[in-house]
Structures are given as structure tokens and as C-alpha cells.
């Protein structure tokens, strides 16, 4: 019958239109963005919290209604003297499509993590969703530098170099001046600059090395020990002090140990009170989503805003002779 086909066409059109809100939102979740990891929270918890929140919001959006199927159901006709059975065309929902039967439409989302932060530290933490996971691999291969603000306190040493560890030593610190501290920082930075030249594997007398140094792109393109490329004091109020550190291939525990070693060089001791990442490659605090903005709309906007950064990462990848993004399907993805 022509009207049964008309009902089916209308249902298909209506189903497609209503599905766009959820499906189109899901299609936008492909890219790279940054969040602000608070101290005391594991990086895995940050990633999982965002994944759960995004899935919940996707499933709360208007979903396509159940498909309809046409049945010819018997119906009694009592208008005449004798009861007659006639068949009536009826549209009924497909029960397999009901949300109570099939469950939520979105149950998994691939979210990869960039350079990790340990539980005590905070700051810029880069994540990739869907195809954005490839860009995380590109970030690792580019060996970008990262900036931290690291705070310390003179006068004691602990077993884990942090102010929360077991105290193993107490020392005086009144002899420490800002000038003495800055001399120690200059010494450490000088030693690391020499290490950078060694691990960069370029001819130091070549034009290439000179141009890379001028552009600030002189860096190891393979794994190397932690390197401190910049080190300066931004606050000095004994026993407390704060440093701004530019580094690569570091861990947050390495930075805490660095504070401990600075204390030893100054004939005292020191513990680390805070580690905060303020930049990870092209990502800064300005583009990092705080905890209150880990939602679908904010993440979608952040991915859109970070497209120029993604283009920059892709461009750097090409300049270093890597294959294009389309050909990277077989690479391992960091998650």
C-alpha cells in the first residue's frame, strides 16, 4: 500500500534529523586540546573523568527514535451482524532499538595522554581524542621543550625531595643570598647546554647548527637524559624561593631532585614544595581547560581553538622528514 511506504519514508527522515545532534557532536570530537591537571589527582583519573563526562553528555543528547516496522494486525469488525476479522496496517517500534534494550549509544572514546604529570604536580596536560592521538605521537617525536615553575624551601632535606617526605636532615640557610643562588643556577645551565650540544648530534661548526641555534630548534631528536635549557630565579624570600625552568625529557621527580641538588651546592639543603607545568610545547596555560570546563561544549571549542596548534605540530613533523599524517595509520599511539 502506498501509505505504508509513505510512513516509512517519513520515519526515516525524522530519525535522521533527530540523530544529528548526538552524531554530529561525536564527529567534532577529533583533535588535540589541553587541560589543567590539579595537584593530588592522577593523570589517568583526569583522562577517565573527561571520558566519562563526554560520554554522559553525548548519551544525554537527543538520540534517534526506534525504527518503525509495519505490521498487519487483525481487528474485529462488529458493525455487521456477524463478527468479521480484518487486517489493519499498524506501525510499531522495533524493540531492539529501545534505549532500555540496546543501552547507551556511546560507550567508548579513545582519549590519549601526552606528556604525563605525576600526582603531586599540576599544570598543562595535553590530551588527544580520536584522530588527535596521532598528533600526540608527533609531539613526542618533535621533542618539544616544556616550562615549569618550581618552588622550593631551604633548610631541610627529605627522602623523596618533596616537603611531604620524611625529614632526614635540617640545615641553616641564612648564608644563602640571591646572588649565590643565581651563580649556582648559571653553573647548572651551562653544564646542561654542553650536554645539549653533545646529544643534538650535529656538527657544531656547520651552518646547520648555527641556524638551528638561532631559531632555538637545537635539540636532541632522539631520547636523551633530562636537559635543563633555561633556569632562572623568579622569587627569593628565604627560606622560600621559586624557579622557572625550561627543560626536556624530564620527569617531575627529576625537578624535585634538582631542587635538592641546588640546596647541596649552596652548602645547605632544600625540598621541593610545588611543581607546576606552564607550557608543553605549543600549549600554554591560556588554552588549558580547568576542572569546571571538562564538558562537551568546552572540549569541542578547545579542539577547534587548537587547530592552528595541530597544524603547527603537523608542519614540524613534515619539516623533520616524517611521513604525512595520512600515512601514519600504522604508528603506535601513546595512550
Which amino acids are annotated catalytic? 118
How many other β-carbons are positioned within 10 Å of the β-carbon of residue 44?
11
Q: 95, 111, 123, 99: which is closest to 32 by C-alpha? A: 111
- 308 in Cβ contact with 287 (< 8 Å): no
Q: 241, 287, 252, 242: which is closest to 121 by C-alpha? A: 252
For residue 161, what is the DSSP state?
S
Q: 216, 232, 225, 242: which is closest to 145 by C-alpha? A: 216
Secondary structure percentages of the chain, helix, strand, coil, to 5? 40, 25, 30
Q: Work out whether strand 122-129 and strand 270-280 pair parallel, antiparallel, or are unpaired.
A: parallel
CB-count burial class (<10 Å; 0-12, 13-18, 19+) for 237: exposed
With vertex at residue 127, the alpha carbon angle to CA 306 and CA 300, rounded to the nearest 5 degrees, is 50
Greatest alpha-carbon pair distance for the chain in Å reads 115
Instruction: Indicate the SS3 state at residue 91.
Output: strand
Task: Say which residue the cell 639543603 belongs to.
Answer: 269
d(C-alpha 216, C-alpha 213), whole Å: 5
Q: 111, 108, 110: which is closest to 47 by C-alpha? A: 111
Find out whether the peptide bond into 239 is cis, omega within 30 degrees of 0.
yes
Amino acid at each position: 500500500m502506498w501509505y505504508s511506504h509513505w510512513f516509512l519514508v517519513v520515519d526515516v527522515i525524522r530519525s535522521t534529523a533527530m540523530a544529528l545532534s548526538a552524531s554530529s557532536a561525536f564527529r567534532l570530537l577529533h583533535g588535540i586540546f589541553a587541560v589543567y591537571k590539579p595537584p593530588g589527582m592522577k593523570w589517568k583519573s583526569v583522562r577517565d573523568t573527561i571520558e566519562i563526562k563526554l560520554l554522559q553528555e553525548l548519551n544525554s543528547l537527543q538520540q534517534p527514535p526506534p525504527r518503525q516496522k509495519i505490521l498487519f494486525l487483525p481487528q474485529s469488525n462488529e458493525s455487521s451482524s456477524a463478527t468479521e476479522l480484518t487486517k489493519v496496517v499498524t506501525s510499531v517500534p522495533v524493540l531492539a532499538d529501545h534505549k532500555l534494550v540496546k543501552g547507551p549509544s556511546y560507550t567508548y572514546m579513545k582519549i590519549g595522554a601526552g606528556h604525563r604529570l605525576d600526582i603531586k604536580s599540576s599544570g598543562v596536560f595535553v590530551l588527544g581524542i580520536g584522530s588527535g592521538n596521532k598528533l600526540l605521537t608527533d609531539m613526542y617525536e618533535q621533542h618539544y621543550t616544556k616550562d615549569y615553575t618550581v618552588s622550593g624551601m631551604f633548610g631541610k632535606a627529605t627522602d623523596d625531595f618533596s616537603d611531604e617526605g620524611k625529614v632526614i636532615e635540617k640545615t641553616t640557610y641564612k648564608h644563602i643570598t640571591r646572588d649565590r643562588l643565581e651563580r649556582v643556577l648559571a653553573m647548572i645551565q651551562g653544564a646542561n647546554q654542553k650536554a645539549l650540544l653533545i646529544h643534538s648530534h650535529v656538527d657544531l661548526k656547520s651552518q646547520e647548527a648555527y641556524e638551528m641555534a638561532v631559531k632555538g630548534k637545537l635539540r636532541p631528536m632522539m631520547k636523551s637524559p633530562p636537559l635543563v635549557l633555561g633556569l632562572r630565579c623568579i622569587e627569593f624570600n628565604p627560606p622560600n624561593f621559586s624557579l622557572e625552568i625550561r627543560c626536556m625529557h624530564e620527569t617531575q621527580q627529576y625537578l624535585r631532585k634538582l631542587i635538592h641538588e641546588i640546596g647541596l651546592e649552596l652548602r645547605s639543603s632544600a625540598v621541593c614544595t610545588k611543581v607546576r607545568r606552564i607550557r608543553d610545547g605549543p600549549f600554554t596555560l591560556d588554552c588549558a581547560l580547568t576542572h569546571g570546563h571538562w564538558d562537551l561544549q568546552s572540549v569541542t571549542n578547545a579542539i577547534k581553538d587548537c587547530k592552528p596548534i595541530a597544524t603547527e605540530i603537523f608542519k614540524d613533523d613534515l619539516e623533520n622528514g616524517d611521513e604525512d599524517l595520512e600515512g601514519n595509520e600504522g604508528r603506535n599511539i601513546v595512550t
